[in-house]
Structure 1
Amino acid sequence: MKYTTTFTAAAIFATSASAAAIAVSNAANIASTTPLAALNPRSASEPLVIIGRPAPLLLIACADPKFLGLCESLPAVELECFNLPEYFRNTITAVDTRIGPKGGVQTCTLYSELGGGGKSQAFTNTRVDDLRPFGMDDVAKSYMCEQEWFELPSGEK
């Protein structure tokens, strides 16, 4: 009797394992033939907004006018001051603060001293090809960004 019980359990295990192997191999074929558009209908250029987490802030800065020379995409956190990397201090000549999610306006402030001190100039949702007219050419050592949100006109998403 013990032999029969063991044999029956082994047969059920073998049958289940075969069915699982078939299910897994079929699932792989289905996943590889499913077009990506069917998995995510969102356009690749449409910004992804995650409720409950702030959207990323970003300052683009370049060492030469008209966004030439060394350029950096500098990440930011809402109202937190960041010191520029040592090699990039006192070299910024162009900035772009238009990088932000739909429905918000981004403002980044450049500071002439580390930690957000000294002379400052704020730039709101703009691209500035040359900081010389603002007196901020080659003087920035730190920056801070923030966002303001506004309601979209009805019907827009």
Structure 2
Amino acid sequence: MARYLKAELIDVVETVDSFGQVAGIMLVGAEEWGDKALPIVIGAAETLSIKKGLGEVDFPRPLSHDLLAEILEALGATVEKVTIDALVASTYTATVYVKDREGKIHTFDARPSDAVALAVRVNAPIYVADNLEKYAEDIRKYIPPPEGKVTED
């Protein structure tokens, strides 16, 4: 059984995929990994949704993740946590844990981008399976260091 580490969404970096379409790279890291993070390629819509959930962009209408968060709240359910679980056939898997009003926990298979987009809206913790560290990369590959900061290579 996998061990999970408390994770954080480090950033969502906009990029262009191999088909020339706008996409994003979601960087999820754990304190234990130091300057490394999982680079998870996500779509343009999910990139926008996560950035909106973080308050980095504004959008005039609710997005799907906003709607889901509102529905859960209206039903008295809460997102307890989300986990990024595995890499299966080049695709990351995730789980959303929802507690209903009676206190029962329900688990839902999800794409990591959807799980994180929901988590940032409801301030739910994110966890990552520690065995995914082998796929983590140096975040400086995706995020340049702040101006004037010297990095060691």
TM-score, shorter chain, exceeding 0.5: no
User: TM-score when scaled to structure 1?
Assistant: 0.25
**Higher RCO (CA 8 Å, separation ≥ 6 residues):** 2
**Structure with the largest fraction of strand:** 2
